[in-house]
Structure 1
Amino acid sequence: MKQYQLTIPAITYAGQGSIEKITEIIEREQVRSILIFTDKGVRESGLTKRIEELCSKNSYTVIDDLASEPSYQDVERVIEETRGASIDFIVGVGGGSVMDASKLASIVIGAEYSVRDLLQDPTIAKKYIKTVMIPTTCGTGSEATCNAIVAIPEKQSKQGIVNNCMIPDYVILDADMINHLPPKIIAATGVDALAHVVECFTSKKATILSDTYAKEGACKIFHNIREAYADAANMDAKMEMMMGAFYGGIAITGSGTTAVHALSYPLGGKYHIAHGVSNAILFAHVMEFNKDACADRLALLCDAVYPEKYNESVNVKADYIIEEIKDIVDKVNIPTNLEELGVKAEDLDFLVEAGSQQQRLLVNNCKELSLDDIRYIYKKLF
């Protein structure tokens, strides 16, 4: 029999008001000095206020000047701000970029290597500081993964640093943290989370362990994203989205995303298109391209999410999942044409070359992509 591995956060708290568990965590870990990673938008919205109050019995420092979609230099700069400080616990409060930076800080603060070094060889990483991740969106799944994504300006693209040392020690999924999340952010991060579960389920590296989380995450996201986007007061739908995103993060750690994410990285790296938006633009096109190699997997996913379709053919069920993806992107008002986002058709050669370099993810895709295949997919976005 095959062997499988799935590494997940040690302790996860979920539900409204679970942010109060920070006190319990601090006591359990005998924390003395805390570093809180966030961004100015999250802090100015008041989302860190209660967290800072709960940490106030200890020495704590807040870093809130991380750039959105940060480069590895941005992350190194904010980590440098901690030089000389004695830190024994990190709290990451924000979206994917903030949590990724928090995880990198946990393996770089106190180390002789840098973030740049990890881009060359992530296996050298060692965890120095324990972490708790508190997402303020419902989509990145970073709170559950061993990945950190940074921009590489000199390559006009992005790259993932992957090492199990970055798996968070604690996660808090509190729906109050997304109570006032703008619909635009629910849309982008929610479709990103949907891409995670569908890509992981159709990945070459999918396992019986990752499948469990991918299917459950898909059920939660397919059935709640439209409601969470359209009705700001629907906290049940938002909580389901948070859980679905978390399950998607676990699925990533056990399986891995594929060509949707691979081809989205140049869009974020060069044009600074939000990660979730770039994934949404590519999502249905990549799944249509992949369909002949993964129709059976899409049909199994359809059985899990839409059991009423069980007696339909494999082809019908695969098409239904793809049509639902299209409908969701349409209903949450994400642009589907790159020219609307400032990308020009003459940039196609750059996109093809940069996308083809994302082999860490492309090798997971159920269907091998040639340069012509990548060009074909990108051309459909104009």
Structure 2
Amino acid sequence: MLNQYNLKMPKNVFAGPEAMQNLKTIIKDGVAKITIFTGKDILKLGLLNELISIIENNHIEYEILSDIPSEPSYTQAQEVVDKFKALNSDFIIGVGGGSVMDIAKLASVLSTGDYTVKDLLDNPLLAKKQVTSLMIPTTAGTGSEATPNSIVGVPEKNLKVGIVNGELIADHVILDSSMIKNLPKSIAAATGIDALAHAIECFTSKKANPISDTFALEALDLILNNIIEACSNPDALEAKRNMLLGSFYGGVAITCSGTTAVHALSYPLGGKYHIAHGVSNAILLTPVMKFNEPVIKDLLAKAYDRVAKEPNKELTVDEKSKYIIDLLENIVTTLEIPTSLKAFNVPEEDLEGLVEAGMQVQRLLVNNMREVTPEDARKIYLEIM
């Protein structure tokens, strides 16, 4: 656990029923033109209707950028940023999942053209906030609305890479459960597991600290006890609100701790095979936690004490640890998320390429409580093939 630590968060976070109405306050003074970053599916579902109505009632000019690819490469991200720069907007709203919000966050530090997305891959410290930003997640979720991270693909390395700088953190966040009410089960499940991975990884990270533990444990409690109901029942608004809050807390935990080998080894799966980020994490979650268990049993036992609604006080540390890992495995199975790369036709002859790419993600592997060697990574990948 770190002895010195700090916390960075969005300036304003609005949550609860009808949270979208807070947009009136956010944009009432000094905003001349807004660019909304979103996806075509979000437009089709009408999820922007209330937001646009508020903007129009405030007589503010706006543009919509909806051609945002899922799991974008850095060149695709740059193309969207270039379109944004031509609009001369002074306020950004990102409405969507992780890819949308990550590109919107990049745009907030790239409006001047002094540097590019590629430059930030080489040196993230170049980033300086230039345009005020508001993030509104439509999944629960990536936690991107809370983090200083923007993830882009680097095709030449078959990897996804995180650009990390506190300047990327959103200025405002709105967490409104109406935005995730009708999310398809498959997307809700995959993104929910991503949020779950954030919480359990940050809690078991070498960089964990009292601040990150506070948010990670609360995220674990909210997610583990609500994810199945939230994904399976469209009318379970309380469970969805809890998931949205848990996802945000998981994102906050990332800012002051960090994810570990689950995310590190999942990045090549997204980078080369374009497997959805949440699905990649779901496939790796249990295998990595079982690998880590010998050195994180006490932490998993603490997690059990926090999340179990009817805790068995007779359980040993080993039994509590096993309970948590079994629970993670059961959630992935119940939500019908693939647990093998066979579903994506990943050939076994690609194993060494996966190991090489996964071992490059030292930014996250160094956070793992148990050292991951190339042989360890090989065994984990073999387990999911």
TM norm structure 1: 0.98
Report the equivalent of 1:4: 5
Q: What amino acid is the match of 1:41?
A: D
Deviation digits for residues 145-181 of structure 1 (CA, Å, limit 9, x no counterpart)? 0000001111111000000001111100000001111
d(CA) in 2 for partners of 1:292, 1:111: 49
Q: Which residue of 1 aligns with 2:223?
A: 221
Structure 2 counterpart of 1:279, one-letter code: N
Deviation sequence 1:22-51 (CA, Å, 0-9, x none): 1110014x2111110001111111111221
The corresponding residue for 1:33 is 33
Paired residues for 1:268-347 under 5 Å: 268-306=270-308, 308-347=311-350
Give the 5 Å matches for 1:53-92. Answer: 53-56=53-56, 57-92=59-94
In 2, Cα distance between equivalents of 1:112 and 1:40: 30
* Worse overlay, 297-306 or 189-198: 297-306
* Cα distance between partner residues in 1 of 2:265 and 2:3: 31
Q: Which residue identity is paired with 1:343?
A: V
Distance in 1, matches of 2:358 and 2:135, equals 30
Are 1:257 and 2:259 an aligned pair? yes
Does the 8 A contact of 1:92 with 1:99 survive in 2? yes
The separation in 1 between residues aligned to 2:244 and 2:20, in whole angstroms, is 14
Q: Is the 8 A contact 1:302 1:309 kept in 2?
A: no
Moved more, 54-63 or 243-252: 54-63
2:100 aligned to which of 95, 98, 101: 98
Aligned-partner Cα distance in 2 for 1:84–1:291: 51
Q: Distance in 2 between matches of 1:148 and 1:310?
A: 42
Shift of 1:83: 3.1
Q: Does 1:173 align with 2:179?
A: no
Percent same amino acid among aligned pairs?
Answer: 50
Q: Of residues 98, 116, 124 in structure 2, which corresponds to 1:114?
A: 116
What SS does the aligned partner of 2:7 have?
coil
SS at match of 1:143: coil
8 Å Cα contact 2:94/2:104 also seen in 1: yes
Instruction: Give SS of 2:28's match.
Output: helix
CA 1:201–1:309 in structure 2 vs 1: closer, same or farther (change >3 Å)?
farther
- Give yes or no for the alignment of 1:352 onto 2:355: yes
Taking the aligned partners of 1:333 and 1:26, their CA distance within structure 2 comes to: 41
Greater displacement, 50-59 / 317-326: 50-59
Q: From 187, 190, 193, give the equivalent of 1:191.
A: 193
Aligned residues of 1:217 and 1:247 also touching (Cα < 8 A): yes
The amino acid of 2:328's aligned partner reads I
Correspondence 1:120-159 to 2 at 5 A: 120-159=122-161
Letter in 1 for 2:127: A
> What are the Cα deviations for residues 178-204 of structure 1, in whole angstroms up to 9, with x where unaligned?
111111111100011000000000000
Q: Structure 1 residue 377: deviation in Å?
A: 0.3
Structure 1 residue 8 displacement after superposition: 0.8
User: Is 1:246 the counterpart of 2:248 in the alignment?
Assistant: yes
> 1:27 is paired with a residue of what secondary structure?
coil
- Rounded to whole Å, the distance in 1 between the matches of 2:84 and 2:217 is 40
Amino acid at match of 1:369: V
Q: How far apart, CA to CA, are the structure 1 residues paired with 2:164 and 2:85?
A: 24
Give 1:309 shift: 3.5
Displacement after TM superposition at 1:124 (Å): 1.1
Pairwise CA RMSD of aligned residues? 1.1
Cα distance in 1 for partners of 2:85, 2:234 equals: 41
Cα separation, 1, equivalents of 2:382 and 2:250? 28
Measure the CA separation in 2 of the matches of 1:116 and 1:74: 11
Contact preservation (8 Å) 1:34, 1:58: yes
**Aligned-partner SS, 2:161:** strand
Q: What letter is aligned with 1:270?
A: K
TM superposition shift of 1:229: 1.7
Cα contact 2:84–2:107 (8 A) shared by 1: no
Instruction: Tell me the alpha carbon deviations over residues 308-337 of structure 1, each in whole angstroms, 9 at most, x when there is no partner.
Output: 134421111111110000000001000111
Q: CA deviation at 1:2?
A: 3.4
SS at match of 1:70: coil
Cα distance in 2 for partners of 1:340, 1:97 equals 23
Q: Distance in 1 between matches of 2:132 and 2:282?
A: 33
Unmatched segments (≥5 aa) in structure 1: none
